[in-house]
């Protein structure tokens, strides 16, 4: 009997070599290949293991605080006078962002693999805090690589990591931001292959990380879908999320990819403007290249040297993007747009004043796009935005820019 | 195609000694100085030259080579200029094999076909591209072999017997055994362990096996050369160059002679390796 023709789906990737179209793959040094293959084996087993799923769900409910609420932003909606705006409140998770969803999943894998030491990279510090948290919870030593520039501008998170028992190693190479931290974490990993688990914080890097991180973060979109159906009896018309590496975005996007009626928008950091070099809009202003184990859109010069990005938000300050986003852009399923620093800053203040929620600067980018689009949409239309992190870590950065004294 | 490389390994083996492979970064600290360094290498006893292609994000390299890459890029080095250094070197030397070593992205952006054509025209004999494992052979390895350029693979302590055949499958020229897990420029492991590792690889291939990572002195070169077909020295040369520069990172009169003296010493080390082993 012939097989039924396969449905056209945007959710089938990656293929067995870790590719999303031309993007993704396993561009790593030979030293790391056996580790990545081991990780893939373990992940393939774990994701089909009911006991693993049960432990993940238990920790999700009792440690992270899942499901996170779906919140109707009534005053913001009224102020903008258009579409109804809902937030998926990932900022209410333990540790204050979506990052913990992935960290819990990966540390359970690390335990299964018998690894005894955790390393991680961090930009804004949210992933570093989440990594340090799960390392404390599971009693494993943790080293977090963080760009020296970020150590300075995200001091509260550095302090949190230290309190949690992690060792924070500032990285001065390059511009001292997320990409340099990732280089340094990879160097640690090739040196300590036997005992060390590299807990990558975003849906990028060599296969199977982009797929694995996405699957751990897809709980965001799965919950939001059910919650939206319960609240409104239908799916949203527009889903919006900020994209740096892209883990919170792929987490909320993925369950909606095959719902044709749902428009999806990813928001990149436009920094001081995409005409110059001071931005992190990899898709809007970059080109395909190979970095950190995968092919994806990168900010680079004509010789293939990677450029330093800029964003007001440390969490978006990365010159690449997860490979699945690169593919979703090229096939036209998701639209990627830039938002400038000053627009994000305005959105940050708007939400704080109107809803009493201090958002992180990362989702403030998504919010700025929502603020642009909502007034142009009908009152019967619905926007779902991933409020991926809270802004406590950013108050000093914002206060400094606004000239507020303490 | 592989003639220059194969001949050099065969000739040196006939002399009863291991091959000395020397690495330095193209364009460090500037184009003309690095061309002079390259020309000095064979005269000082280097048998094979690895020419580093600078990259902004060298994930498998230690601080020394990372800084060399930064100096080179700051000096305006590009992949096109690196090929130009090789081409200029070839005007005077048609016998020393040249292997380009670096990361994939600059090649990918240059364009694989264009790169291979230009590399061949510049007299390149082989490629080592750190972030292209066998799983990614369709990207560059297979096209390079079709054009007649060797693709030299790194084998590491994590490359177990199960994986070794896959790593060796499309490797040609020689096998580069990375003597430890880690980044370039780390400490040298116990030479006796290296002998066992070389024997393990040789059980799977007829290609020469060169050993690198951590070889800094003539004594190291002698110890490694006792069991390996070749010894790769990189970070020590890069450090020698760095130590000769001005505070602003400019070349001095000591830059090229410093490299010559170091390589002469290393060359003496490999030339006495088998004698030492026979004692």
Do the Cβ atoms of B109 and A26 come within 8 Å?
no
Using CA atoms, how far apart are residues A261 and A267, in angstroms rounded to an integer?
20
Distance CA(A81)–CA(A254), nearest Å, equals: 29
CB distance from B232 to chain A under 8 Å? no
Look at residue A314 in the predicted model and tell me its pLDDT: 82
Q: How far is Cα A300 from Cα A1, in angstroms, rounded to an integer?
A: 51
For position B2, what pLDDT does the model report? 63
3-state secondary structure of A144: strand
Same structural domain, A303 and A360 = yes
Q: Are A367 and A347 in contact (CB under 8 A)?
A: yes
pLDDT level of residue B215 (50, 70, 90 thresholds)? confident
Measured between beta carbons, which residues in chain A are less than 8 angstroms from residue B183? Answer: 187, 190-191
Q: How far is A35 from chain B (nearest CA, A)?
A: 8
pLDDT score of B275 more than 80? no
Enclosing H/E stretch for A215: helix A209-217
Q: Average pLDDT in the A87-91 region?
A: 98
Q: Are A116 and A110 in contact (CB under 8 A)?
A: no
Per-residue pLDDT at B97 exceeds 80:
yes
Q: Do A223 and A350 sit in the same domain of this protein?
A: yes
Q: What is the pLDDT of residues A256-275, one digit of tens each?
A: 999 999 999 999 999 999 88
Contact A34, B158 (CB under 8 A): yes
HSE of A80, CA atoms in CB hemisphere, 13 A: 29
pLDDT recorded at residue A176? 81
Same domain, A146 and A188: yes
Final residue before a domain boundary, out of A212, A229, A259:
A212
When scoring B54, B55, B60 by the number of chain A Cβ atoms within 10 A, the one with the most, hence best to mutate, is B60
CATH number of the domain where residue B91 is located: 3.20.20.70
Same domain flag for A108 and A233: no
Structure tokens at A240: 């919006």
| Any domain includes A34 | yes
The confidence band for B222, taking pLDDT boundaries of 50, 70 and 90, is: confident
pLDDT at B262 over 80: yes
- B55: chain A residues, CB-CB within 8 Å: 304-305
Residue (of B213, B60, B64) closest to A183 by Cα position: B60
If one compares A370 and B225, the residue with the highest pLDDT of the two is A370
Partner-chain contact B131 A28, CB within 8 Å:
yes
Does A174 contact B at CB distance below 8 Å? Answer: yes
Residue A5: is its pLDDT beyond 90? no
Does residue A227 share a domain with residue A200? Answer: no
Report helix, strand or coil for A96: helix
Q: Which of B30, B47, B61, B137 is catalytic?
A: B61
Q: Is B159 on the interface with A (CB under 8 A)?
A: yes
Give the residue numbers of A annotated as catalytic, written as ranges: 99, 121, 388
Number of domains in chain A: 2
Task: Compute φ and ψ for A357, nearest 5 degrees.
Answer: -125, 125
CA distance A23 to A10: 14
Q: In this predicted structure, what is the pLDDT of residue A1?
A: 43
Residue A242 shares a structural domain with residue A181: no
Query: Mean pLDDT across the stretch A277-298?
Result: 95
The answer, for A16 touching chain B at a CB cutoff of 8 Å, is: no
Reported confidence tier of residue A22, pLDDT bands at 50, 70, 90 = very high
How close, in Å, is residue A165 to chain B by CA atoms? Answer: 25
Give the count of domains, chain B: 1
Least confident range from A122-126, A300-304, A402-406, B275-279: namely B275-279
Rounded to whole angstroms, how far apart are CA atoms A240 and A245?
15
Q: Which of A194, A212, A230 corresponds to the end of one domain?
A: A212
Q: Please, are residues A30 and B155 in contact by the beta-carbon 8 Å criterion? A: yes
A62 DSSP assignment? I
- Top pLDDT among A66 and A126 is at A66
Q: Which residues contact A73 (CB under 8 A, 6 or more apart)?
A: A85, A86, A87, A354, A355
Which whole number is the average pLDDT over A53-60?
Answer: 98
Distance from CA of B85 to the nearest CA of A (A): 16
Q: Which residues of B touch A173 (CB under 8 A)?
A: 63, 66
Q: How many CB atoms lie within 10 A of CB A144?
A: 30
CB contact under 8 A, B108 and A292: no
pLDDT in tens, B173-200: 999 998 877 777 666 667 777 888 899 9
Are A122 and A232 contained in the same domain? no
Q: Please tell me if residue A304 touches chain B, with a CB cutoff of 8 Å.
A: yes
- Are A258 and A386 members of one domain? yes
Looking at the partner chain, which of B106, B163, B183 has a beta carbon nearest the beta carbon of A187?
Answer: B183
Whether A242 has its CB under 8 Å from any CB of chain B: the answer is no
For residue A398, tell me if it sits in a domain. Answer: yes
What's the rounded mean pLDDT across residues B77-103?
98
Beta-carbon separation of A29 and B154 below 8 A:
yes
Q: Can you read off the two tokens belonging to residue B225?
A: 């050369």
Same domain, A89 and A49: no
Residues A252 and A226 in one domain: yes
Contact criterion met (CB < 8 Å) for B105 and A187: no
Residues composing chain A: 406
Its domain, for residue A363, covers: 67-97+218-402
Q: Are A134 and A100 in contact (CB under 8 A)?
A: yes
Q: Is there a single domain that holds both residue A190 and residue A268?
A: no
Q: Which pLDDT tens digit goes with each residue over B18-30? A: 999 999 999 999 9
What DSSP character marks residue A30?
A: G
Residues B59, A183: C-beta atoms closer than 8 Å: yes
Q: What is the per-residue pLDDT for B279?
A: 52
Out of B59, B79, B103, the one facing A187 most closely (by C-beta) is B59
User: Would A2 be classed as within a structural domain?
Assistant: no
Residues of B in contact with A193 (CB under 8 A): 158, 181
Contact by Cβ (8 Å): B215, B224: yes
pLDDT of A294-341, one tens digit each? Answer: 999 999 999 999 998 889 988 888 899 999 999 999 999 999 999 999
Count of CB contacts below 8 A, A vs B? 117
User: Average per-residue pLDDT in chain A?
Assistant: 94
Question: What confidence tier does B57 reach under pLDDT thresholds 50, 70, 90?
Answer: very high
A289 touches chain B (CB under 8 A): yes
Q: What is the DSSP letter of A172?
A: -
Q: Has residue A19 been placed in a domain?
A: no
Is the residue at A74 inside a domain? yes
**Min Cα–Cα distance to chain B from A309, Å:** 13
H-only helix segments in chain B: 3-14, 31-43, 63-74, 79-92, 104-110, 112-122, 141-147, 164-169, 191-202, 218-225, 235-243, 255-271, 273-278
pLDDT score at B94: 96
Q: Is A255 contained in some domain?
A: yes
Domain end call among A191, A212, A233? A212
What CATH number does residue A373 fall under? 3.40.50.1100
Compute the average pLDDT of residues A209-216. Answer: 98
Give the CA count within 13 Å in the CB-facing half-sphere of A405.
0
Collect all residues with Cβ–Cβ distance below 8 Å to A122 and sequence separation of at least 6. A128, A129, A131, A144, A145, A146, A150, A157, A178, A181, A201
The answer to whether the beta carbons of residues B21 and B46 sit under 8 Å apart is: yes
Q: Is B222 on the interface with A (CB under 8 A)?
A: no
pLDDT at A120 over 70: yes
**CB-CB under 8 Å, A303 with B106:** yes
Q: Does B182 touch chain A (CB under 8 A)?
A: yes
Structure tokens at B266: 């290393």
For an interface test with B, which of A290, A294, A319 has the most B Cβ atoms less than 10 Å from its Cβ? Answer: A290
Disruptive mutation site among A304, A307, A309, A318 for chain B (greatest number of B CBs within 10 Å): A304
**By residue range, what is the domain housing residue B137?**
3-278
Contact B135/A33, CB-based, under 8 Å?
yes
Contacts of B157 in chain A (CB under 8 A): 31
Per the domain annotation, does A11 fall within a domain? no
Domain identity same for A189 and A222: no
Examine the pLDDT at B14 and tell me if it is beyond 70: yes
> CA of B275 to nearest chain A CA: how many angstroms apart?
33
Predicted confidence (pLDDT) per residue in B127-165, tens digit? 999 999 999 999 999 999 999 999 999 998 888 888 999
């Amino acid at each position: 009997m012939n097989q039924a023709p396969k449905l056209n789906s945007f959710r089938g990737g990656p293929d067995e070599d870790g590719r999303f179209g031309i993007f993704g793959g396993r561009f790593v040094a030979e030293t790391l290949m056996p580790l990545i293959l081991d990780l893939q084996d373990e992940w393939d087993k774990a994701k089909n293991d009911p006991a693993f799923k049960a432990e993940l769900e238990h920790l999700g409910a009792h440690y992270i605080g899942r499901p996170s609420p779906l919140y109707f932003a009534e005053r913001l909606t009224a102020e903008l006078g258009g579409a109804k705006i809902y937030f998926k409140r990932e900022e209410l998770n333990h540790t204050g962002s979506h990052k913990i969803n992935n960290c819990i999943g990966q540390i359970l894998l690390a335990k299964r693999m018998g690894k005894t030491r955790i390393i991680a990279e961090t930009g804004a510090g949210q992933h570093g805090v989440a990594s340090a948290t799960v390392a404390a919870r599971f009693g494993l030593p943790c080293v977090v690589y963080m760009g020296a520039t970020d150590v300075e501008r995200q001091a509260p998170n550095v302090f949190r990591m230290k309190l949690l028992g992690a060792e924070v190693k500032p990285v001065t190479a390059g511009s001292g931001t997320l990409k340099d931290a990732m280089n340094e974490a990879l160097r640690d990993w090739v040196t300590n292959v036997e005992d060390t688990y590299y807990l990558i914080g975003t849906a990028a890097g060599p296969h199977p990380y982009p797929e694995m991180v996405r699957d751990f973060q897809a709980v965001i979109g799965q919950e939001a879908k059910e919650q939206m159906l319960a609240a409104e009896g239908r799916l949203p018309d527009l889903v919006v999320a900020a994209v740096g590496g892209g883990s919170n975005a792929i987490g909320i996007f993925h369950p909606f990819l095959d719902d044709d009626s749902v428009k999806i928008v990813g928001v990149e950091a436009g920094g001081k403007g995409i005409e110059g070099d001071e931005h992190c809009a990899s898709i809007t202003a970059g080109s395909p290249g190979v970095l950190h184990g995968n092919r994806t859109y990168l900010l680079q010069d004509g010789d293939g040297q990677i450029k330093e990005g800029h964003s007001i938000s440390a969490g978006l300050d990365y010159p690449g993007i997860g490979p699945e986003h690169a593919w979703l852009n090229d096939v036209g399923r998701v639209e990627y747009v830039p938002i400038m620093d000053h627009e994000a800053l305005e959105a940050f203040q708007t939400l704080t004043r109107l809803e009493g929620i201090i958002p992180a600067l990362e989702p403030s980018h998504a919010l700025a796009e929502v603020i642009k689009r909502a007034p142009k949409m009908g009152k019967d239309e619905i926007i779902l935005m991933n409020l991926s992190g809270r802004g406590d870590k950013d108050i000093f950065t914002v206060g400094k820019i606004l000239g507020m004294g303490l | 195609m592989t003639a220059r490389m194969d001949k050099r390994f065969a000739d040196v083996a006939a002399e009863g000694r291991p091959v000395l492979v020397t690495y330095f970064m193209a364009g460090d600290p500037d184009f003309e100085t690095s061309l002079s360094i390259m020309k000095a290498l064979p005269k000082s006893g280097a048998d094979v030259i690895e020419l580093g292609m600078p990259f902004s994000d060298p994930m498998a390299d230690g601080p020394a080579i990372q800084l060399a890459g930064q100096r080179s890029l700051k000096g305006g080095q590009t992949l096109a200029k690196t090929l130009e250094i090789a081409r200029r070197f070839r005007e005077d030397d048609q016998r020393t094999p040249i292997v380009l070593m670096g990361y994939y992205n600059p090649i990918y952006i240059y364009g694989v076909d264009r790169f291979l054509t230009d590399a061949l025209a510049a007299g390149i004999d082989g490629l080592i591209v750190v972030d292209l494992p066998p799983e990614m052979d369709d990207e560059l390895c297979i096209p390079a072999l079709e054009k007649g350029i060797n693709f030299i693979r790194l084998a590491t302590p994590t490359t177990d017997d199960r994986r070794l055949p896959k790593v060796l499958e499309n490797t040609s020229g020689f096998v580069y055994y990375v003597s430890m897990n880690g980044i370039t420029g780390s400490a040298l492991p116990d030479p006796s362990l290296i002998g066992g590792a070389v024997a393990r690889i040789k059980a799977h291939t007829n290609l020469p096996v060169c050993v690198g990572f951590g070889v800094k002195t003539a004594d190291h070169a002698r110890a490694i050369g006792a069991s390996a077909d070749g010894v790769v020295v990189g970070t020590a040369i890069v450090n020698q160059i760095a130590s000769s520069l001005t505070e602003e990172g400019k070349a001095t009169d000591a830059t090229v002679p410093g490299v010559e003296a170091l390589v002469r010493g290393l060359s003496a080390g490999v030339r006495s390796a088998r004698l030492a082993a026979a004692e």
